[in-house]
Structure 1
Amino acid sequence: MTLLAAVLVLTAVRRSWRWAALAIAAGALVGAFLSWYLGDVLDVLGVPPTWVDRVWTGVVCALLGVAVVGLVRGGRGRRGRRLTRVVAALLVPLALVSGGLAVNRDAGLFPTIADALGQSHVPPLRLPDDPDAGSGPIDAADWRPPHDMPSHGRYGSVRIPGDVSHFHARPAIVWLPPAALVEHAPALPVVVMLSGQGPGAAPANIIEAGRMAARLDAIARRDHGLAPIVVMPDQLARASNNPMCVDGPLGNSATYLTSDVPTWVRTHLHAATRAEDWAIAGFSQGGTCALQLGAGRPDRFGSWIDVSGQIGPILQDRDDTISRGFNGDRAAYEAAQPLRVLAEGAPYRDSTAFVAAGADDSRYGPVVPVVVAAARAAGVRVTERIVEDGGHDWHTAGVALAEGVEWFMQRTHLTR
């Protein structure tokens, strides 16, 4: 449709082909400049543009140039000029939508319009009838799946109130493996999994963009229905907010994740309680949170899965972070840096970490060896993973988070 509109405009203004060629070239140059300035200089999205982003920005601006020529020059005759201008006007939204869809497909971020608006369309979770009817701490060698065990896990949205933190979280999503849906279910390990932060960010991104339910079902199927309970809470309160998983003026996100969420899980689900049976995981900003809470609360999370995270909590820059995130308290900001926390908390005698990024992630990929080195120096047992052909996108996140869950299953002896 977009291509057809552009061809019609160019055909109508064929006598002004020099203007059209100039508009296309100028548009492509403007697109290249905008991609560089907004993506690399201003860093408006927090990640560098991919080549797909850069090419499509140029294409969209070139199409807009064609539309401008059509609107100004028109076609031949009064009726021709009017029709050409209508088609040129139509080309503007078509170009913008086409470019947006292409970039979104490259990033794999918003499978639906609801995801783009940050609205969860995940139905409420139907909890198991009796979360206390378990067989004690999980032992994969002794537990056997019953004949009536479901073939797939179950997921849905739940409200986890911020009773202690007073954090106003949006609904969380919980995935229960088949082993959690039967009578006399074992007490299963828990993975608290966090999305990133940015336009449309929400727990549903993990399920929709990361295709996590299907990935987790595949994992459970290979292990006779056994897998961790995966809880996907909201650590942001809203997509544009970034409390940085600390307690501060932007929200008591840390207390919410380390107190309110575990309390809800223990109350409503048959979950293991030992720190070694709990992991904190996340992608991008969520990966940074995993690093922070894994380093800072080994008594709560014995393992962490950091996918494409930053080296520490950050807003626009250091000064902005201290001002808005820590009430101007520079000492509190320094104390919250996870590499410092790792150094001061060493030795970590029973903590493990899975640290991953995409091979093509030029911004957050270099963070991986720094975090890995600091964690190992502090005594953490670390597994490092670089996802081939992966950038800072949900392809990388989905692959690495799923592999992180499998890695955690070995730690908790779920894998037979």
Structure 2
Amino acid sequence: MPSRSSSARILVGGVVGLLLIGLAGFAAAPRADGPEQAAAILPDNPLYDSWHAPAGMPAHGEVTLLAGDDRIPSSAGFEPRDASLYLPPAALVTDPPDLPLVVFMMGQPGDPDPEPISTAMDELAAQHDGLAPIVIVADQLGDPSNNPACVDSGTFGGVETYFTKDIPAWAREHLHVAADPSQWTIAGFSNGGGCALDWALGHPGLWGNVVSLSGESYQGTEFPDEMLQQVFDGDQAAYEAAKPAARAEKHAGQFTGHLAIFAAGADDAEFSAQAQLSRQIAKDAGFDTRFFSIPGEDHVGALPGGLLVGFEALFPRLGLGPPSH
């Protein structure tokens, strides 16, 4: 685990930080579709059943910047900006349990800002005796103006390798994380949500869960011609093969017991439609799925509420809380 003394404390501002004002008071009930959902597969021995928060456990989690000696190395030519690490209160005790792992991405343009998800995880941890996932907030862009399309390419380097090999290897070596794929979640917002879906479908043995908040149903939905040329060198077949629907077909039959959670702002018609398309791809592939519509919110405004309801729905699957009734 990175040295807390050698890792700089994250101080986050900007637009997303302002959007989080009042997060703790988010009270509007998001809408979840629908009665046809099967019950998510739950762990046999959930952690919340045996966990007792020890005396002296911190009230809040800790966020550190993974920079310098703590930086997660990238092995295939992709040059990410520094990632961040969120450790929930339960990870900060003397003998911490192995906790679920979440790898989370923000949108494009944007930064790998840990504040939105760390704030939501702290709120959920406060409701679950300090239990929450360990979260790595990582960069899938390299630069705010880049869009590597969730694939390794000659233009942007090995972003998919970074997320599906380098980050997992670093997490296993440095963190107290559960080993089972059912405890690993790939997640993101907007562009990050699209990559989360793509990699969950492309790597079923690695990620047992996906959370896509206002995410795309495939890379470059708004500018496919630019994506085709910039990332895939005009190779339409390569572009099609990289899309979530194609990856779902390639790995058909490998998603039993996997959980996919989608959310979008009720006032964001474009990405609500994208989220529903994404949900259908996951459902057809064999995922158990959930969709939440965040009342009164547009694209960016849906992030705080989407994080809360999305991960609250994931907690029982991760053994961090009882199933809701």
- Structure 1 residue 320 displacement after superposition: 2.0
Q: Where in structure 2 are the equivalents of 1:314-325 lying within 5 Å? A: 314=220, 317-325=223-231
Asked whether 1:400 is paired with 2:306, we answer yes
- Residues 138 and 187 of structure 1 are in contact (CA less than 8 Å); yes or no, is this contact kept in structure 2? no
- Counterpart secondary structure, 1:305: strand
Match of 1:291 among 197, 211, 236: 197
2:92 corresponds, among 177, 181, 190, to 181
Which is greater in Rg? 1
2:53 alignment partner in structure 1: 145
Deviation, 1:110, is 6.4
| Equivalent residues in 2 for 1:7-156, closer than 5 Å | 108-109=15-16, 111=18, 139-156=47-64
| DSSP 3-state at the match of 1:370 | helix
Matched, 1:169 2:80: yes
Q: RMSD across aligned C-alpha pairs, in angstroms? A: 2.0
Distance 1:183 1:155 in 2: 18
Unmatched tracts of structure 2, length 5 or more: 1-13, 20-44
| 1:266-345 correspondence to structure 2 within 5 Å | 266-314=172-220, 317-345=223-251
Deviation per residue, 1:343-376 (Å, 9 max, x gap) = 3322221211001111111211111222222221
Q: Please give the per-residue CA displacement for 1:148-195, whole angstroms capped at 9, x wherever unaligned.
A: 211111112113333422321111111101100011110000111100
Decide which of 109, 130, 138 is 1:233's aligned counterpart: 138
Q: Distance in 2 between matches of 1:315 and 1:307?
A: 16
Instruction: Report the Cα distance in structure 2 between the residues aligned to 1:142 and 1:172, rounded to whole angstroms.
Output: 32
1:322 aligned counterpart, secondary structure = helix
Residue among 366, 371, 381 paired with 2:288? 381
Size of the aligned set, in residue pairs, is 279
| Secondary structure in 1 matching 2:268 | coil
When residues 138 and 170 of structure 1 are mapped into structure 2, their CA distance, relative to the original with a 3 A threshold, is: farther
Q: Write 1 or 2 for the structure with the bigger share of helix.
A: 1
- Structure 1 counterpart of 2:279, one-letter code: V
**What's the offset of the Cα at 1:215?**
2.2
- The one-letter amino acid paired with 1:157 is L
Q: Distance in 2 between matches of 1:226 and 1:165?
A: 34
Counterpart in the other structure of 2:119? 214
- Change beyond 3 A, Cα 1:108–1:359: farther
Percent pairwise identity: 35
**How does the TM-score come out when normalised to structure 2?**
0.81
Q: RCO higher in 1 or 2 (8 Å CA, sep ≥ 6)?
A: 2
Amino acid paired to 1:172? A
Q: Cα distance, 1:290 vs. partner?
A: 0.9
Out of 258, 262, 272, the position equivalent to 1:355 is 262
The one-character-per-residue Cα deviations of 1:184-214 (angstroms, maximum 9, x if unpaired) are 110000111100011xx1112x41xx3x333
Query: Are 2:202 and 2:247, in contact at CA under 8 Å, matched by a contact in 1?
Result: yes
Q: Structure 1-normalised TM-score?
A: 0.64
Which residue pairs with 1:197 in the alignment? 108
Q: CA deviation at 1:272?
A: 1.1
1:219-274 deviation per Cα after TM superposition (whole angstroms, max 9, x unaligned): 11111011100110111111111112111122211111111111111111111122
